[in-house]
């Protein structure tokens, strides 16, 4: 198994972003959904996001955004890819895929939702815990046995493990599930709007 891809999600300020880059993560996630505790207004923050140093991937996280808005965000130089973390259906995703922009489709394991996107499968799949009324960032641990089966059944897919990961459990979770990558928000925070840099370093080191 190669080194897992590591994404730190829920970034809300430049200082946390720069420290995460310094520590060697592969991607940063910015939540553009207004219902999130980690909400970052797009228009007010796009310039500093676009100006971040290094080659780290910058991911815009959206929830049930109008297709026109998703396309506008994906075209902006602040972001390299977009993550759909709501209830977007296969038709929506297939239409977005025609734009050619890379994207990740998030799934809450345990929900009955179609994976098939006609004509253009998602580049990546993110699997998270199913919490009624929530769209990620809950800190609830995903069922690792269920996640491992999901990964084993889809060897051709790049699957990202999320849900309840911390510096203390991420290595164990990677060994059990064998995902392409891992994604964390609440597990490396002081508060929902401030990352804990010691936890960040410990998480990235343990995952890598």
Q: How far, in Å, CA of 16 to CA of 147, rounded?
A: 29
- The H-or-E segment that residue 76 falls in is none
Exposed / middle / buried, residue 98 (Cβ in 10 Å: 0-12, 13-18, 19+): exposed
- Contact 90/116 with Cβ under 8 angstroms? yes
Provide φ and ψ at 204, rounded to 5°: -65, -40
Phi-psi region of 10 (alpha: psi -120 to 50; beta: other; left: phi over 0): left
Q: Which residues are tagged catalytic?
A: 9, 128
Q: Please calculate the CA angle 26-29-34 and round it to the nearest 5 degrees.
A: 180
Looking at the chain, list the stretches that DSSP marks H as alpha helix, in order from N- to C-terminal side: 14-23, 42-50, 67-75, 90-97, 144-152, 170-177, 197-207
Q: How many angstroms separate the CA atoms of 50 and 172, rounded?
A: 34
Q: Write down the H helix ranges in 55-196.
A: 67-75, 90-97, 144-152, 170-177
């Amino acid at each position: 198994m190669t080194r897992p891809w590591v994404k730190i999600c829920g970034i809300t300020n430049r200082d946390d972003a720069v420290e995460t880059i310094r520590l060697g993560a592969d991607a940063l996630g910015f939540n553009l959904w207004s219902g999130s505790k980690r909400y970052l207004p797009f228009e007010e923050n796009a310039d500093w996001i676009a100006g971040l140093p290094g080659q780290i991937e910058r991911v815009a996280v959206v929830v049930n955004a109008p297709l026109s808005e998703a396309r506008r965000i994906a075209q902006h130089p602040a972001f390299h890819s977009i993550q759909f973390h709501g209830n977007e259906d296969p038709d929506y995703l297939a239409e977005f895929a025609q734009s050619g922009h890379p994207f990740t489709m998030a799934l809450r394991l345990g929900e009955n939702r179609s994976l098939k996107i006609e004509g253009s499968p998602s580049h990546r799949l993110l699997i998270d815990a199913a919490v009624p009324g929530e769209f990620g960032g809950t800190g609830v641990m995903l069922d690792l046995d269920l996640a491992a089966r999901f990964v084993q059944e889809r060897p051709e897919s790049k699957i990202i493990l999320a849900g309840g990961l911390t510096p203390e459990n991420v290595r164990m979770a990677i060994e059990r599930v064998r995902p392409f990558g891992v994604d964390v928000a609440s597990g490396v925070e002081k508060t929902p709007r401030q990352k804990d840099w010691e936890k960040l370093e410990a998480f990235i080191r343990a995952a890598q």
